Amino acid sequence: MRNQLQHAKRIVIKVGTSTLIYPNGNINLNAIDQLAFTLTDLQNQGKEIILVSSGAIGVGLHKLNMDQRPPTIPEQQAVAAIGQAELMNIYNQRFLTYSQQIAQLLLTRDVIEYPESRKNVTNTIEQLLKMGIVPVINENDTVAIDELDHLTKFGDNDFLSAIVSQLIQADLLVMLSDIDGFFSDNPHTNKEATLFSEINQIDDALLTLAGGKGSRFGTGGMYSKLKAAERVLDHDISMVLANGKKPSIIFDILAGEKVGTLFTLLK
């Protein structure tokens, strides 16, 4: 099945905060530059690339020299607003090094839920792709909170990337995280944990294996990644979960190499 990945034309790339931010809270400029280079080269090959990027709060914490997320929602929203601007500045700088134009879209779940606004978002992404521009999508953290009466929050960017993949009928979702794929147990604490090379169905047994949240700078965990995989599989879209420490691993994925965990339906 992996040899079919090279034919994927419309690809959503999701990067987690752990790819963009070092454990010490500093920005991983090497990874961001490698990501910009890789996605630009794929664009030059004639592929259509959409980037779903976490990292607003992580970058905001770094910008403000803060070690931990602030406790209140307004403070978190302010940090996200500061971080989002800085993150896009960094992306713009690195992508322009390779002469690739990008665009920003900040989404909330209610935008997706309403047919007219969903159509507008889809049309915008489609037009950007026609223009050869890489859309950079993130959740609008300054608006999206669980406490509002109407649900505006996706939950995390894992789920958002799955929804975006569904909206634009992507061929493939590549999810880069801080782990090599989906394991039978936490490989950081259990050396006997084994990597699943390919998964064709998300069931309760797999969901039980999934843990909680990820790093202190991000919100995603393995459970959310499985739920994202479940959603894309429901729409016959394949997904690869792999380690984003070196974003150039995307080249290996599209070359059909056996890296990460491939989620795909049996044909």
Find out whether 225 is annotated in a ligand binding site. yes
92 is in an annotated binding site: no
Does 157 appear as a known binding residue?
yes
**119 annotated to a ligand binding site:** no
Residue 14, annotated as binding a ligand: yes
Cβ 113 vs Cβ 121: under 8 Å: no
Do the annotations mark residue 223 as ligand-binding?
A: yes
Residue 177 among known ligand-binding residues? yes
236 annotated to a ligand binding site: no
Q: Report d(CA 267, CA 265) in Å as an integer.
A: 6
Separation CA 20–CA 161 (nearest Å): 17
Q: Is 224 marked within a binding site?
A: yes
Q: Is 83 annotated as a binding residue?
A: no
Q: How far is Cα 172 from Cα 145, in angstroms, rounded to an integer? A: 29
Is 66 annotated in a binding site? The answer is no
**Binding-site residue set for substrate:** 54, 141, 157
**Binding-site residue set:** 14, 54, 141, 157, 177-178, 219-225
**Binding-site residue set for ATP:** 14, 177-178, 219-225
